[in-house]
Structure 1
């Protein structure tokens, strides 16, 4: 994706940082090779591209953004919009994003965007019909994603994010197997940068599945992990959420009130309303 402008853009950034070819290359790459790359005489190998970007302390995503004249690509726009839609999914916004995926995929092949489109269709169906209604297309979509994930030896972060979005669509009988694999995958990523935010999100979704199926002991175990992570991150929304959820599981009114108080103080109104409804229904 960078073959047409990697070299010239790289040269511009390198020079703007005041780095010479000699400084960038060190003992790993010859200046002759870098010169050929910067002048579009050779295409950098993956190894060389990663090395060169590391010397600029720049991610592939940021470099791609710069290559696109400091604008997100259509692909980046889709995933960026998905992050917004995932927080507060509205039917019209989900449909618009599905249309964007369709338009993008009509022009090029992209497996992650195909998976995202399937997830969005599942979420749209559940928003329109509720979590209990299913049709053949819905089942085919969930089966397609489940089989894609289940055949993998290891789940990576993108797989976990894909999975957590549609956990609600799977039968309860699959939860123990899915939960075990989720924990095994998260353990492998325990030292990965910025992993804890993702862990909180994933664990919250898993605990919610158990909670809504009244499997409170399992919910309690997972919520305790969420609580500890929220404390380390000083994520007060997650801290309040975990305390309320744990309080319901344990029948502890003091813990519930502590959690609700945190959410009131931090003005987390949507989350507060949802949890107050949960307390009325399940406590």
Structure 2
């Protein structure tokens, strides 16, 4: 049987006592109380199965315990994964360079597919930031896709990796990834991270469909995302999809009153939550898609 490599008994004892739990309570369904006593004194090391059962009895996840064990700090791969998640909302060049350096140092001492993928993703985003040339950046993203494309099933980490490089590929590949990702995420409906990924993939899919001039399908996806964003209280995303729905309706030759109403609604929502930087980005998107007359009306109204 596989055993935990490190001794955590004394830390388990401290947590148990802080929670006011007895040894009998924490040991239930894992081992005899007398055996658990030896574990707390670091005389024995539990199997992985028993380790997780004890954690469950302590009402604690492995992630939380590992964080406590590391003196409330993230170390090694955990720190890299945390930094990687921040890239979704902060991918400025300095941040990317720092994450790349951290992954490089880690890979000098460890072999790890996911950290290697994060390294490649940083290379892709850094190259794009410096050159503004997708053709130069795409080969790094393709290294990540080459590995993941061979997997029969994608889990949350693979889905997050792919979400960061979706726009480095042609429409067919990006569309395939988005559709499969949304299917895979249906298995994780009770996971908070999965909900965030579903929202992100849905938003990206709408953009891909718009870029491919598939406006009717983009409209259908927009309506679905509007419902999901309202249900989950994600008003930042809701504001963006309102604006995009207005753009889509314009491309579908709907009335000016209807299209401008949706766009104005989106900008009003984003102004209410004071997301000024996103408003500026969306103004650029409106300019990109709309004709001159409509552009002037919309930009003036914001």
Partner of 1:87, secondary structure, is: coil
Counterpart of 1:267 in structure 2 is: 274
Whether 2:253 is the aligned partner of 1:254: answer no
Counterpart of 1:277 in structure 2 is: 284
Give distance in 2, aligned partners of 1:31 and 1:255.
63
Q: Specify whether residues 264 and 117 from structure 1 end up closer, same or farther in structure 2 by C-alpha distance, changes over 3 A only.
A: same
Whether 2:179 is the aligned partner of 1:180: answer yes
Does the 8 A contact of 1:8 with 1:38 survive in 2?
A: yes
Matches within 5 A, 1:1-283: 3-130=5-132, 132-134=134-136, 138-139=138-139, 141-193=140-192, 195-251=194-250, 252-283=259-290
Partner of 2:134, secondary structure, is: coil
Partner of 2:136, secondary structure, is: coil
Deviation at 1:8, TM superposition (A): 1.8
TM-score under structure 1 length normalisation:
0.90
Give distance in 1, aligned partners of 2:39 and 2:114.
29
Deviation at 1:227, TM superposition (A): 1.4
Which has the larger displacement, 202-211 or 50-59? 202-211
Cα deviation digits, residues 125-147 of structure 1 (max 9, x gap): 12222253326xx42x3332112
Gaps of 5+ in 1: none
Which has the larger displacement, 33-42 or 47-56? 33-42
Cα deviation digits, residues 164-210 of structure 1 (max 9, x gap): 00001111121342233112102222233453223212222232233
Give distance in 2, aligned partners of 1:175 and 1:104.
30
Deviation at 1:237, TM superposition (A): 0.8
Q: Specify whether residues 50 and 131 from structure 1 end up closer, same or farther in structure 2 by C-alpha distance, changes over 3 A only.
A: farther
Q: Specify whether residues 278 and 84 from structure 1 end up closer, same or farther in structure 2 by C-alpha distance, changes over 3 A only.
A: same
Deviation at 1:246, TM superposition (A): 1.1
Deviation at 1:61, TM superposition (A): 1.4
Q: Specify whether residues 184 and 85 from structure 1 end up closer, same or farther in structure 2 by C-alpha distance, changes over 3 A only.
A: closer
Give distance in 2, aligned partners of 1:217 and 1:46.
51
Deviation at 1:232, TM superposition (A): 0.8
Give distance in 1, aligned partners of 2:174 and 2:112.
29
Which has the larger displacement, 30-39 or 241-250? 30-39
Give distance in 2, aligned partners of 1:238 and 1:81.
22
Give distance in 1, aligned partners of 2:133 and 2:240.
22
Alignment RMSD: 2.1
Does the 8 A contact of 1:131 with 1:168 survive in 2?
A: no
Give distance in 1, aligned partners of 2:231 and 2:193.
12
Give distance in 2, aligned partners of 1:2 and 1:73.
18
Between Structure 1 and Structure 2, how many residues are aligned? 280
TM-score under structure 2 length normalisation:
0.85
Q: Specify whether residues 171 and 242 from structure 1 end up closer, same or farther in structure 2 by C-alpha distance, changes over 3 A only.
A: same
Runs of 4+ in 1 over 6 A off after TM superposition: none
Does the 8 A contact of 1:196 with 1:229 survive in 2?
A: no
